[in-house]
Amino acid sequence: MNDISILLNGQKKALPENQTVSQALTLFGYQEDKVAVAMNGEFVARANYCTLIIQPKDDIEVVSPMQGG
């Protein structure tokens, strides 16, 4: 299996090809139920994490909701 290059929160990362958003979150140490994901500037619905395949050069932002005000 080959690696692809992506941007994760502005940093270049290597990821095995054919990974879903869910698999990538696990690989990079995120709990998918505790974060929100945008890919190439578009919000990704949590329901799509298990089916959406990450492509080379995708720009992925993972954010944790903040509490307080």
Domain count for the chain, please give it.
1
What residue has token string 């919000």? 43
Residue 58 lies in a domain: yes
Residue 14 lies in a domain: yes
Residue 68 lies in a domain: no
- Each residue's pLDDT tens digit, 25-53: 999 999 999 999 999 999 999 999 999 99
Phi-psi region of 40 (alpha: psi -120 to 50; beta: other; left: phi over 0): left
Residue 69 lies in a domain: no
Phi, psi dihedrals of residue 37, rounded to the nearest 5°: -130, 135
Residue 12 lies in a domain: yes
Closest CA to 32 of 43, 18, 47: 47
CATH number for position 38: 3.10.20.30
Q: What pLDDT is stored for residue 65 in this prediction?
A: 77
Q: Which domain holds residue 13?
A: 3-63
Cα separation, 11 vs 7, in Å, equals 5
- Cut 0.85: pTM above it: yes
pLDDT band, very low/low/confident/very high, at 69 (cuts 50, 70, 90): low
